[in-house]
Amino acid sequence: MALATTGGGLGGSLGGGERVLAGLTAAYVLFTTFWPLAELFSAALAPGEDGTVLGVMRETLASRATGRALWGSLATSGLSVLISAGLGIALAFAVSLFRLRSRAILTFLILMPLIVPSQTMALAWIELFGAGSPLLAPLGLAPAAGTTNPLYSAGGIALVMGVEHMPLVFIATRAALRTLPADLIEAARILGIPPHRIGAGIILPVILPSAVAGGLLAFTAAIGNFGVPALLGIPGRVSVLTTLIYQRLNGFGPAAAGQVAVLAMLMTAIAAGALILRGLVLARLAVPLPAGRPFEPTRRAPLVETVLWLVVLAISIAPLVALVMTALLPAIGVPFGLERVSLDPFSRVLANDAVRRAFANSLFLAVGCALVSVIVAVPFAYLTRHHRTLLVRAIDVAVEAPWVVPGTVVALGMILAFLPPLPLVGISLYGTMAILMVAYLARFLPLVLRPVTAAAAAIDPALDEAGRIVGAGLLRRLGVLFLPGVLPAAVAGAILVVMTAVNELTLSALLWSSGHETIGVMVFALQYEGSSTAAAAVAVLSAAMVFAICALATLLARWLPQGMLPWRD
């Protein structure tokens, strides 16, 4: 029985081990998140060459290119939100209010644009609408050979981003519709109000705040989107903030750091504005609904079901089919025909060293990031439950930042922090796999942390106290008493990280170096060089990998916390 001594009277608190854990987590977050973002801020706020206060910021904001890119970002994102919201709300209504026989599969197909990596989806749309479209050309609907792809335009970017982010609105609206109490609708029916008036007059106002919140989320995603404007906008000469940052950094290197930091701050401000607005909408406009038996659709609607199938055919299936068909042809421009189909493009890309390395790198980064995130998230979630000090709460907020701000901003912060040699060690992380890993760790930690802290919050604190009473130390309580309670959430979060990280493009596009390519970078580079077939083959392989992970997650669904897999109703 060793006496623990607290310094200075009785003011001390329990748990030296907890304090050590909190300190370690703080150091981790300081290194992966706080430092890079702080470097970014200080670069953006630096004085100009002539020493004027905030000179860099003034210069950058005044430049024509900034104005063009800002306008491009706002216009494409604004337009894309209209598409996301219109499609998302309509699809959510159809899926929720009618009794559909194929609801599960339809829901999955509606969510597919979000599940399939951004650059893969962009590529798929390019192939669908290109002059050599394997689907449209046989119908005579493809643009004439030699003309540019109609998607290489602001409208095209908006369309593809709109479809890609539609699931965000769909998920938000559908969640609201599921909590809709049945008696609200039944009461209206008894009053004899016709169905379409019930929809417009009763249901829509109740779910509108959620739909608007989903729309603002889609807007933030569009502002931060890199894959779509990079593949469509760069050839189409449509400039947006994410691609401008990319091009400046590629063109001028670290010399452009100050300028691009200002652009990144601009993006952060827009995204933060949208998220604050979203919070306000949810807090102010959301109507508290009485708890009640949820509405169960009873009306069969074969016509609606057919229309739904046509829609998912157009937005989810057709682009992917076009992509797969492109990947099955020996070269671009060859019309599609069964006798010409070959798996050559696949064997060729798989034989390519760079491609194989990209797959290995992406898998390593994704799995490593998921594992480290779990190792960090579980003890930290313990602290948020059992040791909620000021420091712990501050960390809890800080870790969200890299997920909330656009990925380009995070990548830029990484370059600014890790391009100079690390203090003490004297080596630079830039140009190594390490900088990618640190960036991934910062960006994807919230995907694990959020479900794990949610699971931890539901745990009775007495379970841990009972462990202390029988004399179990911190590590034992963490491993034996706490971990089993949050393990399903941690696994679910890890799967989400692997799925997202394995096809990451935004961070890798700025941080990769020769020998340290990722799959996303590979697709982008191949397409950029004009090897559409190879790009399509790699994109198809990466999409297949994501579907395999989805399937694995679905198999595990029984053991995962409810509501973790959005495609499972």
Q: Which residues bind other proteins (CB under 8 A)?
A: 1-15, 460, 462-463, 465-473, 476, 480-481, 484-485
List the one residue out of 332, 122, 81, 19 whose CA is nearest residue 218: 81
Q: Which residue has the tokens 């579907």?
A: 547
To other proteins, the closest distance from the beta carbon of 376 in angstroms equals 22
To other proteins, the closest distance from the beta carbon of 377 in angstroms equals 19
Q: How far is CA 431 from CA 139, 409, 416, 419, 519, in A?
A: 48, 18, 13, 8, 17
- Specify the amino acid at residue 281: V
Sequence-separated (6 or more) residues with CB below 8 Å from residue 136: 128, 129, 142
DSSP code of residue 423: T
Closer of 193 and 463 to other proteins (Cβ): 463
Closer of 340 and 476 to other proteins (Cβ): 476
To other proteins, the closest distance from the beta carbon of 535 in angstroms equals 48
List the one residue out of 34, 40, 14, 1 whose CA is nearest residue 415: 40
First and final C-alpha spacing in the chain? 54
Closer of 16 and 23 to other proteins (Cβ): 16
The C-alpha atoms of residue 222 and residue 410 are separated, in whole angstroms, by 16
Closer of 278 and 385 to other proteins (Cβ): 385
Closer of 6 and 513 to other proteins (Cβ): 6
List the one residue out of 58, 75, 97, 89 whose CA is nearest residue 155: 75
Closer of 480 and 544 to other proteins (Cβ): 480
To other proteins, the closest distance from the beta carbon of 464 in angstroms equals 9
Cβ contact 145:233 at 8 Å: no
**Strand ranges (E), 59-110:** none
To other proteins, the closest distance from the beta carbon of 553 in angstroms equals 22
Helix %, strand %, coil % for the chain, to 5?
A: 75, 0, 25
Q: How many other CB atoms are there within 10 angstroms of residue 226's CB atom?
A: 28
Cβ contact 152:232 at 8 Å: yes
To other proteins, the closest distance from the beta carbon of 463 in angstroms equals 5
Sequence-separated (6 or more) residues with CB below 8 Å from residue 70: 241, 266
Closer of 146 and 471 to other proteins (Cβ): 471
- Specify the amino acid at residue 47: P
The C-alpha atoms of residue 387 and residue 274 are separated, in whole angstroms, by 33
To other proteins, the closest distance from the beta carbon of 485 in angstroms equals 7
Closer of 14 and 182 to other proteins (Cβ): 14
Phi first, then psi, for residue 527 (nearest 5°) are -65, -40
The C-alpha atoms of residue 533 and residue 474 are separated, in whole angstroms, by 55
Structure tokens at 24: 């370690």
Closer of 291 and 469 to other proteins (Cβ): 469
Q: How far is CA 430 from CA 410, 411, 502, in A?
A: 14, 11, 20
To other proteins, the closest distance from the beta carbon of 478 in angstroms equals 13
Sequence-separated (6 or more) residues with CB below 8 Å from residue 554: 565, 567, 568
Phi first, then psi, for residue 462 (nearest 5°) are -65, -25
To other proteins, the closest distance from the beta carbon of 475 in angstroms equals 12
Closer of 13 and 52 to other proteins (Cβ): 13
To other proteins, the closest distance from the beta carbon of 481 in angstroms equals 6
DSSP code of residue 138: G
Cβ contact 164:218 at 8 Å: no
The C-alpha atoms of residue 117 and residue 156 are separated, in whole angstroms, by 18
Closer of 421 and 479 to other proteins (Cβ): 479
To other proteins, the closest distance from the beta carbon of 6 in angstroms equals 5
Closer of 140 and 484 to other proteins (Cβ): 484
To other proteins, the closest distance from the beta carbon of 383 in angstroms equals 17
Q: How far is CA 34 from CA 18, 408, 416, 425, in A?
A: 22, 16, 12, 19
To other proteins, the closest distance from the beta carbon of 461 in angstroms equals 9
Structure tokens at 222: 């569009």
The C-alpha atoms of residue 439 and residue 504 are separated, in whole angstroms, by 11
Closer of 304 and 463 to other proteins (Cβ): 463
Structure tokens at 555: 């198999």
Closer of 19 and 568 to other proteins (Cβ): 19
To other proteins, the closest distance from the beta carbon of 87 in angstroms equals 43
